[in-house]
Amino acid sequence: MKFINYLSTIAGIEVYPLISLIIFFLFFVALFVYVFTTKKEHIAEVEIIPLNDSIKNENDLNS
């Protein structure tokens, strides 16, 4: 018996792919909204964090 035949015997199984599609879609819609509503100042502040850490680490090593 093939795997698909096992799935067809489970009652209510057809709702799970729909639920996973909805979750997938909502996640990316929320991500899209977050990206386009984030303030430019916050993005500029966050994008220099790796540079600040490396400068701080170099200063600690030189001390």
- For the stretch 3-46, pLDDT in tens is 777 777 778 888 888 999 999 999 999 999 999 999 999 888 88
For residue 12, give the 3-state DSSP assignment.
Answer: coil
The residue type of 17 is P
Domain total of the chain: 1
What ranges in 1-63 are assigned the alpha helix state H? 3-8, 15-37, 40-47, 49-62
- CA 46/CA 31 separation, integer angstroms: 17
**pLDDT for residue 58 is more than 60:** no
Q: What is the value of pTM for the model shown? A: 0.56
Print the domain residue range for 33: 3-62
**pLDDT for residue 1 is more than 70:** no
Predicted pLDDT of residue 56: 62
Predicted pLDDT of residue 63: 55
Q: For the beta carbon of residue 28, count every other beta carbon within 10 angstroms.
A: 10
pLDDT band at 47 (very low <50, low <70, confident <90, very high): confident
